[in-house]
Structure 1
Amino acid sequence: MSDDSAAPERADTSKSTRTRERILDAAAFVLSRKGYAGTRLSDVAAQAEVQAPAIYYYFESRDALIEEVMWVGAHRVRAHVEEVLAGLPEDTSPMDRILEAVAAHLRYELHICDYATASIRNAGQVPEHVRLRPAAEEATYSRIWRDLFAQAKKAGQLRPDLDINVSRMLLLGSMNWAAEWWNPKMRSLNDLVKATQDFVRHGMGAVDLDDPTHG
């Protein structure tokens, strides 16, 4: 015999979850465009189509809401890149794994996810207490790239003199900075992905002396 009295409670919980997600989505939208200093709860509420005081039912403060957006942004980028890498054939070379990760990061950051853009653009703007949890997630993500570079170096697919730690941080920094300057009206996302992959392949990759294009 089913307990019909639980149905309204489940419906309320589902509605509450949807409202919380709508507020988060709205905050990601506003934060990705107006930045930390310019993000106001009134703008988030208008975007989410809720009353501003309702936000405090789900988040204790403006900073708590922004922290959650930035953590979600960092987490979703990591999860997306991990999913792409996990779906590659087992015989994919270490260098090709880096190139696929480059494409996955840029496409998610610039085309798919307001959360990722909000997290990346505001990393240097928010107070330290807002940065702690997102920064821990970013550190986990950075270790994925550390492993990718280490595997490619071990396989001889990176220049022997390459400092893989510095190169990894430069690559991540340049990809994240694209959120500030990339304009889809000036160049396509496909062009940006290819240019970044070429930068890795030709700037960091081992020189193939048998390649006829090598001078």
Structure 2
Amino acid sequence: MARKTEVQDAETAGSKSARTRKRLLDAAAVVLARRGYAGTRLSDIAEEAHVQAPAIYYYYPSREDLIEEVMHVGAAAMYSHLRDAMDALPPGAPPHTRIAAAVEAHLRNELELSDYARAIIRNGNQLPEVVGKRARAQITAYNDIWRGLIADLAEAGQLRDGLDASVARMLVLGALNWAAEWFDPERGSLEEAISTAQSMVLYALRP
């Protein structure tokens, strides 16, 4: 049986390793959001994480393995954030209220809360198949929530006649994603951006 100090040493080492892995993931998310997939170098990630670049290989065999993990973790977190926002609404909340909440959840996560969300939004379409496979499964689940929101709006008779629900969903998400490129908190508040987006999205979708 291992002595108590040996167990504690093992637990401390494991905890330190987990913290370092998280620091590397967080740093990679920052660099990916800033520089994009093609411009992300391990040396930049190491500098952001305050580690020596060769140390990264202790945790991840390659640049692609690290980026793949970031994208998977980020996409899963985006899905959970939106799901939690929907679950926090009162039971029976009308479709337009749910869509307004989804708009806020998306923009707040993208622009305020998560470098991972920005990394996903800016790089999701740039990744090789093997790097983006797990993330795309989570992104599909995320899109399915939006698909359901617009379907509910249509079922309630509140979707504008002549709109293709699939096209409408992609246009809404495309517009929300683009906010990562232009939003500047020094030129306008996030609350104003969210309120404006909610108004425009609902005006465009409803009769």
Q: Is the 8 A contact 1:153 1:160 kept in 2?
A: no
Q: In the alignment, which residue of structure 1 is the partner of 2:67?
A: 66
Divergent runs of 4+, >3 A: none
Match of 1:159 in 2: 160
Distance in 2 (alpha carbons) for counterparts of 1:54 and 1:19: 10
* Deviation readout 1:27-56 (Å, 9 max, x if unpaired): 111111111122111111111111111111
Distance in 2, Cα, partners of 1:91 & 1:125:
39
Counterpart code for 2:194: V
1:135 and 2:136 are equivalent in the alignment: yes
SS state at 1:91 partner = coil
Distance 2:184 2:50 in 1: 29
How far has the Cα of 1:141 moved from its partner? 0.7
CA distance in 2, matches of 1:6, 1:145: 47
- Counting only pairs closer than 5 Å after superposition, residues 1-215 of structure 1 correspond to structure 2 as 4=4, 5-206=6-207
Separation in 2 of the partners of 1:171 and 1:76?
20
CA distance in 2, matches of 1:91, 1:147: 14
| Displacement of 1:122 | 1.2
Deviations 1:165-197 (A, max 9, x none): 111111111111111122222222112111211
Question: Gaps (5+ residues) in structure 2?
Answer: none
Match of 1:184, SS?
coil
The match for 1:211 is none
Alpha carbons 1:35, 1:121 under 8 Å: kept = yes
| Counterparts of 1:2 and 1:100, CA distance in 2 | 52
Q: TM-score, normalised by structure 1?
A: 0.90
Give the count of matched residue pairs: 206
Amino acid at match of 1:75: A
C-alpha contact 1:36 1:122 (8 A) present in aligned 2? yes
Give distance in 2, aligned partners of 1:30 and 1:205: 39
**Distance (whole Å) between structure 2 residues aligned to residue 156 and residue 61 of structure 1:** 51
Q: Distance in 1 between matches of 2:184 and 2:89?
A: 30
Please say if residues 81 and 104 of structure 1, whose CA atoms lie closer than 8 Å, have aligned partners that are also in contact.
yes
Percent identity between matched residues is 50
Structure 1 residues 196 and 54 mapped into 2: Cα distance closer, same or farther (>3 Å)? same
| Higher relative helix content | 2
